[in-house]
């Protein structure tokens, strides 16, 4: 396989028996298979282990890693901890891209081939994903995501980019911190509007195994940890109030942020990160200009299929 197309995928999963057959079929159907797909079974008790081992028996590129049970699901820090448990146990060291993928999604057979074609055409592209869609009845509704935000459900990084930013932080908002660090390092980050890259997510992004409101509170805490500007979080909360659960979701995000501030929660403190983040957020509110600039993509690369 040409090194241009060599990629590894790491999937932390826990009790995903309901959804795993779909993501396994999606991976098995890829026109460009992975060099390795490491699936970390993080303490499952619902039949997930058996599903994974059966799939691995027919796919040589699938590596199932059993992680000792910590006793409960841990969203955010636990996901990244499980990711690195798999990362440290990869069989291969020969790859050009690394992806983190959830166990509750579906995607088309040429998802990876299409996504890698964008990396090949844009030398500045460091991280990319498709867009997230949620099933609502018989239709799919897009989860609103800014074009510079790569979605945590299935995001690809150039290996060079991933190593340059130091990988993922073991905390809520690990995905947001990662793509903002990539921007600081002068890499482009994109979630791309292209029907071939639609990701069907079986759970609402930012929700939780304890309920949507609990997930929104966690989201707010994560925004505080990341260093989001107070004005920006107010706008985010208002923006999310028109999504399910209407009103309460956005209010829970703001509440989570405020409670984290009151409790004096530690914050991510990489040098220059908060200044860069605030400038980017204020640019989105049309109040300032970002600190980092990149050459514009050529040939309307990201708008031609939107």
Provide the number of structural domains found in the chain.
2
Task: Identify whether residues 40 and 83 lie together within a single domain.
Answer: yes
Nearest residue to 210 (alpha-carbon basis) of 55, 89, 72: 72
Task: Identify whether residues 147 and 172 lie together within a single domain.
Answer: yes
CA distance 249 to 252: 5
φ, ψ for residue 98, nearest 5 deg: -130, 140
Q: Is the residue at 250 inside a domain? A: yes
pTM above 0.85, yes or no: yes
Q: Is the residue at 239 inside a domain? A: yes
pLDDT for res 190: 97
Task: Identify whether residues 103 and 160 lie together within a single domain.
Answer: yes
pLDDT for res 205: 54
CB atoms within 10 A of CB 58: 9
Task: Identify whether residues 111 and 236 lie together within a single domain.
Answer: no
pLDDT in tens, 70-91: 666 555 688 999 999 999 999 9
pLDDT for res 72: 61
76, 218 Cβ separation under 8 angstroms = yes
Q: Is the residue at 28 inside a domain? A: yes
Task: Identify whether residues 248 and 141 lie together within a single domain.
Answer: no
Residue 291 DSSP symbol: S
Report the DSSP pairing between strands 105-106 and 188-191.
unpaired
Q: Which domain holds residue 196?
A: 3-201
Q: Is the residue at 299 inside a domain? A: no
190, 302 Cβ separation under 8 angstroms = yes
pLDDT for res 111: 98
pLDDT in tens, 210-221: 678 888 999 999
pLDDT in tens, 169-221: 999 899 999 999 999 999 999 999 999 999 999 766 555 456 788 889 999 99
Structural tokens at position 253: 């995000």
CA distance 143 to 134: 7
265, 224 Cβ separation under 8 angstroms = yes
Q: Is the residue at 42 inside a domain? A: yes
Q: Is the residue at 150 inside a domain? A: yes
Task: Identify whether residues 10 and 112 lie together within a single domain.
Answer: yes
Residue 150 DSSP symbol: P
50 contacts: CB under 8 Å, gap ≥ 6: none
Task: Identify whether residues 67 and 135 lie together within a single domain.
Answer: yes
CA 218 to chain CA centroid, nearest Å: 16
CATH code at 195?
Answer: 3.90.550.10
Task: Identify whether residues 177 and 222 lie together within a single domain.
Answer: no
Residue 303's pLDDT band, with cuts at 50, 70 and 90, is confident
């Amino acid at each position: 396989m040409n090194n241009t197309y060599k990629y590894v995928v790491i999937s932390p999963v826990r009790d995903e028996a309901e959804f795993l057959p779909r993501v396994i079929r999606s991976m098995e159907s890829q026109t460009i298979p992975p060099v390795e797909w490491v699936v970390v079974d993080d303490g499952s008790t619902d039949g997930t282990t058996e599903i994974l081992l059966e799939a691995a028996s027919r796919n040589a590129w699938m590596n199932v890693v059993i992680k000792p049970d910590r006793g409960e699901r841990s969203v955010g820090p636990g996901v990244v901890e499980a990711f690195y448990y798999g990362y440290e146990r990869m069989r291969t060291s020969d790859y050009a891209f690394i992806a983190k993928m959830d166990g509750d999604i579906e995607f088309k057979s040429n998802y990876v081939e299409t996504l890698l074609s964008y990396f090949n055409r844009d030398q500045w592209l460091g991280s990319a994903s498709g867009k997230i869609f949620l099933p609502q009845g018989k239709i799919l509704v897009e989860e609103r995501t800014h074009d510079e935000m790569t979605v945590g459900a299935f995001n690809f990084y150039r290996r060079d980019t991933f190593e340059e930013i130091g990988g993922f932080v073991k905390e809520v908002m690990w995905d947001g911190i990662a793509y903002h660090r990539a921007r600081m390092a002068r890499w482009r980050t994109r979630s791309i509007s292209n029907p071939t890259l639609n990701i069907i997510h079986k759970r609402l992004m930012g929700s939780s195994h304890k309920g949507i409101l609990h997930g929104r509170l966690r989201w707010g805490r994560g925004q505080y940890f990341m260093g989001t500007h107070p004005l920006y979080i107010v706008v985010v909360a208002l923006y999310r109030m028109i999504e399910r659960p209407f009103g309460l979701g956005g209010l829970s995000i703001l509440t989570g942020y405020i409670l984290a501030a009151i409790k004096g929660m530690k914050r991510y403190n990489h040098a220059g990160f908060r200044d860069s983040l605030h400038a980017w957020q204020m640019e989105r509110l049309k109040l300032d200009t970002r600190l980092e600039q990149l050459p514009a993509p050529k040939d309307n690369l990201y708008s031609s299929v939107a």
